[in-house]
Each structure stands twice: as structure tokens, then as C-alpha cells.
Structure 1
Amino acid sequence: MTDDQLPPDVRPGAEHRIRMGQPPRNRADAVRKLVWILPWLVFLGAPVRDLDSGAHSTAATVAGWLALVSFTGVYLTLVFRNMGRPFSGPTVGALVALLGTLAVVLCLTLGGAWIGLFVYVSVTCGATLPQRVAYWAVGGNTLAMLLVGLHVGSDDWSLVLVVLLLGFAMMGVKQLVRTTVELRKARVTVAQLAANEERLRLARDLHDLLGHSLSLITLKSELAGRMLPDHPDKAAQQVADIEQVSRQALVDVRAAVSGYRRTRLSDELAGAQVALNAADVIAEIPAEPDLDGLAEEGESALAWALREAVTNVVRHSGASRCTVEVLRRQTLDGPVWELSVEDNGSKGSGAGPGNGLTGLTERLEKAGGTLEAGRTRHGFLLVARVPAGTPAPVGSGA
């Protein structure tokens, strides 16, 4: 089973990953998301310095601190809650309007040092409001900031561009989060559909394999039971037929199970991509190679060779890059399918072939293939070859 097939909460590194568009699972997850938000509070430095400067009366200073704490609390609540289970539309609209009102009132009453509050209003509009509404809200907030800045005589006009761009940037981030969530749901749905389809195929194949045989066994058992008192010879013949039918059914079931268990090269290529990525190895792997003409036995041998090679790269090579190729070549001995796995690791696999390579050599020899493995100037190279066969007819196999 690959890491992608594991539940999201138990994949390697999942406990340290910020899940986009999902609520915090625990306190540590909540802290990580809060740490992601807190750096944006840098624009509150000017209001804090203004209140600490003593330029306002005691009443104004107390009111300013209360308003600033309220503004920050509403902002953090909106943005943090929006990462998981957002408020309803009317609630979001009311809280955004409250933020905008506080920004305007505080700037008009306490001075231009508070103009940075419009940055948070813009970010909140882009992150929490619907897309169409957010366009107008960000633009309106920018215009309000411009007018308030002109009224209070603010000279920090670079914030106008910051307010506009951050608002639209947060709209893009919100769209990215939404797309990520939808892709995650679609991925789960595809996996469920694939599992359901596999169960249906298994049920269909078992019905085709055993339905007729079991019906025949039942019929002959009833005949043998009726013949046993008066015609023991005929009953014995029916029992012999039952044994033959049951043995054939067992052979068919074993063949079907072998087909289900057969290692497929396409599956191993996908698994190799996941394993190498998890080990921070840059992987160059063909996504969907054309394997027409590759016999089942040869495909299984190459799949096992790929699995062993990738395992060695991940565990022993210390490589940072790995290249996998699957090609059909014409050699002096005839056409062959060739799998090559090359890495740039500095650590070899030992002075001689290990048990894994020895087992691969034997497996490939059974399929009529060969194995070459050894160090190169830049790393380690494994090449497995099997004879090329003719494409299997459509509909063959289990």
C-alpha cells in the first residue's frame, strides 16, 4: 500500500502538515495555523506606538486599546474560523462591516497612524466574502482608505497598493483552498468508485467461475443421492463427476486469484513515484508507458525489479535523484523490454550482489530475462530485460 492510499491522518508527516481548508484537528494544529496568521499583525505596530506615545487623553487611550483589541479579535476570529468551519453569510457580512466601521472611526478620531487597519479589512474581505462580493468589497475598502487618508492627512500612500493587492491575493488564496478541498473530495470519490468497481468485478468473476460449477455439483449430488439405494454404480459415477467438477472449479479460482495478485508494472511505477517523493528524491518516472506486447510473466518480473531497485534507492543509496525508464529495444537476441533505474547515490550496495539482486536475477531468468546492476561514475544503475511477446488479445485474462 502506498502513502496515498493511507488515510490522510496517518500518512507520514501528516501530523506536521497544515491542512488547507480544514479545521484544526488538535491544539498543535491550531497553534500552527495561528502562527501562520500572526505575522500579518505587523501593521498593528503603528496604532500600538500611537497609543503608547501619550499623545491622547486617558479616555481616548483606553477607548483606543479596547477598540484595537476588539478589531484584532474580530479579524482573527473571521480569518481563523474561515480555515475550517466558516460563519454563515450574514454573520460574515456583519463582522466585515464592523471591521470596516472600526477602521474608519479609529482613523478619523485617533489619526493617520491607524490607516494600516484597512489592510486587515481588505484581507478579511478577500478571504471570507464570496468572490463576486469580494471584488467590490476590496475596491470599496481601498477607496474608503484613500478618502480617509486624505481627510486625516496621511502620507503613507504606499499602503493603498498594499491594501488593493493583498485583498485580491487573498481572493486567490481562497480559491486555491477551495480547489484543494474539492480535489481532495474528488480523490476520495475516485478511490471509492475504484474500490466499488473492483468489488463488482470480483463478484462478477466469482459468479462466472463458480456459478455453473456449484449448480452442477448440486445437481449431481441430488442425482447421486437418489441413485445410491438402487444404483450404487451410477451414484459412484456421479460422485466421480462431482470430484472432477470441484477440482476444475478450484483450478479456475486459483487462476483468478493469481490474476488479481499479479504484480503490475504500472502500479509499481505509481508506487515508486510516491516512495521516492516521500524520501525527498527527485523522481523522473514515466507516467503511463505503453506496455503493449509485454507478457504477464515479463511484466511481473520487471515490476518486482522496479520495487527492489526503488527500495534500495530509498534505504541505502543516499541519492537525491532517480531516473526510471521503460523501453522496448531491438537487440541481437530479438526484441526485449528494458527497465532501467539509475540514481546518483554515493553509497553502493556492497561488494557483491545482495539477496534482493540474487532473487531478482532468478526471477528474471524464469521469465527468460537478464539483470545487470552495478556502480557508474555518477551513482548506481540497474537494468532488467525480458523478451518482448505479442500483445494479449482483448478480453483475455481473469
Structure 2
Amino acid sequence: MINPVSVLSDPKNRSFYCSLFIVVSLIFGAYFIGSASIAKEYKEKLTRWKVIYNMQNTNLGTCKKQCQPSGTEALPEGIVVKTSDLEMRPLWGSSMKNKNSTPSMSLLAIAVGIKQKEIVDKIVRKFLSSDFVVMLFHYDGAVDKWRDLPWSDTAIHVSVMNQTKWWFAKRFLHPDIVTEYKYIFLWDEDLGVENFDPERYLSIIREEGLEISQPALDPVKSEVYHPITARAKKSKVHRRFYKFKGSGRCDDQSSGPPCIGWVEMMAPVFSSAAWQCVWYMIQNDLIHAWGLDVQLGYCAQGDRMKNVGVVDSEYIVHLGLPTLGVADDNKGINGMAHSHKEGSKALAPSGLPQASNRAKVRMQSFIDMRIFKERWRNAVKEDKCWVDPY
């Protein structure tokens, strides 16, 4: 058995073990120092990762608040253009409009057929003189037959066969496209505007705070289907209609259509905010939009009894001409209006029977209205969070 005392007493052995101790000490010292350095570096990395994580979370929260449009997540925010307009721009050179001119603040959109060319010409001339943007939806495809009119090149023409203005509006008047226009006039083509001034009309609806409106109808010369649209001669604007006899009475206690808060779909005028709501209400597959008028008050940006009205001092004439589904020749404004008022079939070409699908068009209109009403009822029933303000 080896005696440890004798081993250590030998100078050579003692020197060897001292050297070994020093080497081991150095190794352990290097190890602990290295570990401390690694631990410090690791700690610094963790700190950096934590900062980055917190920054990412902060940015994520900020991005959520910005309501970034769907599909633009891969783009930097500053490059995203959320809206557009209907301004026509040249392929080269400066803009077609004078750079110093005031941009148009209102839009007139009409679904037109060539047979009402003379009527539409008078309407458009009035609106262009008030610096409107004019957009024509050609439901008969006859765009080239409008080229002889002096204003044709300044208007925007869209041509799709056999569609209504509501079908066109749903596809070409998205709120993000027409957002720069403060008012949207979505009119029929058979309207007389001899007693109508667009600028005065805009002044009145701004003064009255009307988000949804229409010009009143001349009760003598017009086809009036809804009494609330008839002109009151001594009034500038009316919002309510009174009926004290028969069924469907309207009095001061009435709070909804057709007594108050309602305009016809023939010549409605919408503020930009109201149109943003109405556009979403238009059904993609129902082209006639019957039944929509009763619900327009929900888009009035507040109380429909205050923000919806009929302007009496700027009024129009509704000629009541059958258009969609009717084949006829163009006899001019006076001839067509006179014939229609007398119940004549003079709209058909001479010597030929009246070629008309008008009955089918009207039937489809009633079908669309029934479907829309059913959809509204179902939507109200299914949306547990929605509260009917009326």
C-alpha cells in the first residue's frame, strides 16, 4: 500500500502535483470565466429578443387599429391607395381639366336608351353647366349614336345591354370610387328639367341637412305614383305627407314611409355618406331595386324624419315613359309625353304592333321586391346584435 506522506515528501512528486494543481486550476478558471461570458452573451440575446418581440407586438396592435384593407397586408401602408375617382386622364401631357379649376363635387348617373336622347340631352346640359361629372349607363348598347352631341366626349359612357341603373350602380359606383363626390344623383331618363337648377338644389339640401332627397314632381304634368313626391307650391321643402281619409292614413304621428322619411327610386339624390350605406343595401342579383325605397331611411345618417325630404322649389316633370322592355321609335319629348298622358300606344312604330316585354319587366320587378323584403326580414331575425331604431 502506497503511503501518501512518503509520496508527497519526495520533492519530485511534490513538484509534479503542484504543476498538476496549477493546470487544473487554470482549466477550471477558464471554464468558469467562459461560462460567465457565455451566460452574459445569452442574457443579452434574450434581452434583444424580448425587445424585438415587444416591438412586434406593439406594431401588431398598431396595425390592427389601422384597419388595413384586406389583401394589402404585404404592402407598406404609404403605398396603399384606398379610393379612386371617375376622372379621365390623357395618355400623355397635362390633365384634361385646368389644374386651377375646382374639381367637380357632384355626380349625375343616368341609365339611358337612344330613344330618350332628346330628353337626356336637356338633362345633361343643365348638369354640366353646374360643373357635374356625368356618367351614362347605356342599356341598349347604342353608344355611338350619342357622339354627335357636343358634350358626349366629356361624359363617361358605360354600355351593357338590358340592365337597370341599380345594376349599373352596384358595379360601377362603389363608394370607394365615388368618394370624392359629395352628392350622387341617380336618375331615370324620362325627366323634364325646365324648372330645375342643380346648383340651387344643392344649396337647399345642404341648408336643410338632407342626406337623401329628390326634387318634387309637377303634379299637373307628371305621372305621380306616390303622393309624397307631388310638389307643394308654397313650400321650399317638405318631409311629410298627410292623408286623413281611407286606408293608410298619414298624420303628425306617422313616423315612417310612405308618410315620412321616404323618396321614390325615380330621381333620388344621396350624400356621399348616405350612398356608402345605400350601395351595400343594393342586392347584387336583384336588378330592379323595388322595395329598397322603403328602407332608404336607415341610410339617412340619423333621423329619417329630418334627413330625408322632397324639394318643392326645384321641381321636375316625370314623363312616365315606358323604357326597358319596349321597342319604339323616337318621336321627341312633346310627342311622347302627350301620347303617354292620353293613354295612346303611339310609342310603337306606325303600322306595327307594339313590341313590348314591359309586362315581364314589371312582373320581375314585383318578384325582386318580394325577395328583397323576405331577405330583410331574415336579416333582422338572424342578426341578434342589430337594433331597429324605428
TM-score, structure 2 normalization:
0.21
Which structure's CA Rg is the greater one?
A: 2
Question: TM-score normalized by structure 1?
Answer: 0.20
Q: More relative contact order in 1 or in 2 (CA 8 Å, sep 6+)?
A: 2
